Chains A and B, each alone.
Chain A
Amino acid sequence: MSIKVKNVNYTYAEGTAYEIHALKDINLEIPDGQFIGLIGHTGSGKSTLVQHLNGLVKATSGRIYFNERDIYGENFSMKELRSKVGLVFQYPEHQLFEVDVLSDVCFGPRNLGCSQAEAEKKAREALHMVGLGAEYEKRSPFELSGGQKRRVAIAGVLAMEPQVLILDEPTAGLDPKGRDEILDQIESLQKERGITVVLVSHSMEDVARYVDRIIVMDHGEVRFDGTPKEVFRHYKELEKMGLAAPQMTYLMQGLREKGADVDADATTIEEAADAVEHWLKSK
């Protein structure tokens, strides 16, 4: 079970003066259960790429395989793909529309043909997964706080029981605690339920803290693909692409420039604290 992207190209407005080659020969394999961070500057092609993964945009050339089946093949059901690969857009709370939270979350499973009772069961489970208890079910989604609304929107996708969850900047505009709560919940979904997560983010600190693997996009190409430590070692190249490294990478580099023999690979607070402690105790 996996997603395989083979030689995918995508061109906007092909054959016109506005032609843009948004994806250039993308090759990727996303195995089950990974937590992936997708980073890149505005316009680097990351949103176009994730829209290919659930079939919203069709590649100009190349193939995408979901669980070994060609998604552009004749007998492949796009509807099924979209229920298995859930996409949470930026500011998903703008898409809430129902009179109460439970009905809103039921919309997805109902659309997939579930009975009302079945849909409600799935919706309750999804709300539980994002940390919203039964007391929220009958409330209007518009009365909730920003962070709560966003969790309802994420639950709406989770209720379709996806195997892969793609989130496009799920924490933009949330306060630090709200950001941590959402990312912690996503992490536990990935760890406990084995859901594959693709997190599109502009926060290098969040990416360093949560993901197993980082994919870096630049001008429609994959530039780096590796663990956070491996990728952030290239911080100077990342800066040239309009990105950055986590603050901790810069701090460790600052120590090294002063001659400190400290492990410079730390990208999170915990890792940096360990590395500094080790260095202070060393002879």
Chain B
Amino acid sequence: MVRAEGLTFYYERLDEEGNVESKKRAVDHVDLHIRPGKFIAILGHNGSGKSTLAKHINAILTPAEGTLWVDGMDTKEEEKLWDIRQDAGMVFQNPDNQIIGTVVEEDVGFGPENLGVPTDEIWKRVEESLDAVGMLKYRHHSPNKLSGGQKQRVAIAGVMAMHPRCIVLDEPTAMLDPNGRKSVIQTAQRLNREEGITIILITHYMEEVVEADHVFVMDEGRVVMEGSPRQVFSQVEELKKLRLDVPQATLLAFELQKRGVRLPDGILRNEELVDELCRLKSKM
């Protein structure tokens, strides 16, 4: 679905005459391969390059060096730009910056309308997409009366209406309350499971990563760690050094290990830790 080879990107600083004054490398020789239908998470501290990488996936940015392919299309080929953006949709952190319509269904219809989809087909897609994110009953509402989680789901529906194969979510839950956070993550998981859409989730909430198929960890523009959530979250100390964290159950298991309780590495969920602890207790 997405493949990068030697992907490198610089932010350039220009002086008053427009000459390049300094260059900061934001993404540094990244190689990655994301297969279709997977749920992928990208972790990394602020400034680690994860959002810059994400912006390459729908060709908001194009590589300075190396290549990125979306569905086999090189993002540097300008004539492929619209196909790429239709194929890989993007949802950002702040819902208020990405909703433009005055009525929910109009907002969702904006994408396919822009692609030149016939009117009947647009309405069909609007209905399907709102249904897929659980927002169909709000179709005639004004977006500004919705909660943050509902707005984010409308934003996801807007991307869905373009029939993408891949959705990149860049910290979609950072501004949401617990319920909103849950509804957005469950929506992403359902679209992945039921519609087979590849999900690339960027987040600072470790709990949201537990169910992912594969996790990439970035630091200084490079992929410094990757693997299943269990492999990645087994490395508590290394993640802390990268300004990251682990899920709460993993953290408690780690704390108990330090106190001499014999627990296995890589516990991710509350239920696993409860079972392990009960097993230990029964042997005492």
Chain A residues within 8 Å of B, Cβ to Cβ: 40-43, 90, 145-147, 169, 172-179, 202, 204-205, 242-244, 246-248, 250-251, 254-255, 258, 260, 269-270, 272-273, 276-277, 279-280
A242 and B178 contact, CB distance less than 8 A: yes
Question: Residues of B contacting A251 with CB < 8 Å?
Answer: 248-249, 252, 270, 273-274
Roughly how many angstroms separate A174 CA and B182 CA in the complex, as a whole number? 19
The answer to the question of B34 belonging to the interface, with a C-beta cut-off of 8 Å to chain A, is no
The answer to the question of B280 belonging to the interface, with a C-beta cut-off of 8 Å to chain A, is yes
Given contacts A276-B277, A280-B261, contact A175 B244 (CB under 8 A): yes
Question: Residues of A contacting B30 with CB < 8 Å?
Answer: none
Given contacts A41-B179, A254-B271, contact A247 B248 (CB under 8 A): yes
The answer to the question of B245 belonging to the interface, with a C-beta cut-off of 8 Å to chain A, is yes
Indicate which residue in A145, A169, A247, A280 contacts B280 across the interface (CB closer than 8 Å).
A280
Question: Residues of B contacting A279 with CB < 8 Å?
Answer: 281
Roughly how many angstroms separate A205 CA and B48 CA in the complex, as a whole number? 24
Given A174-B46, A269-B252, 15 extra CB contacts under 8 A: A41-B177, A42-B176, A42-B177, A146-B47, A173-B204, A176-B245, A204-B178, A242-B179, A250-B270, A251-B270, A273-B252, A276-B252, A277-B256, A277-B261, A280-B261
A176 and B244 contact, CB distance less than 8 A: yes
Roughly how many angstroms separate A244 CA and B281 CA in the complex, as a whole number? 29
Which residue among B240, B247, B248, B278 has the maximum number of chain A CB atoms within 10 Å of its CB? Answer: B248
B178 and A269 contact, CB distance less than 8 A: no
Question: Residues of B contacting A248 with CB < 8 Å?
Answer: 248, 252
Given contacts A41-B147, A42-B148, contact A247 B207 (CB under 8 A): yes
* Chain A residue nearest to B246 in the complex (CB): A176
Question: Residues of A contacting B249 with CB < 8 Å?
Answer: 247, 251
B46 and A176 contact, CB distance less than 8 A: no
Q: How far does the Cβ of A18 sit from chain B's closest Cβ, in whole Å?
A: 10
Question: Residues of B contacting A41 with CB < 8 Å?
Answer: 147, 177-180
Question: Residues of B contacting A179 with CB < 8 Å?
Answer: 204
Question: Residues of B contacting A254 with CB < 8 Å?
Answer: 270-271, 274
The answer to the question of B137 belonging to the interface, with a C-beta cut-off of 8 Å to chain A, is no
Q: How far does the Cβ of A232 sit from chain B's closest Cβ, in whole Å?
A: 13
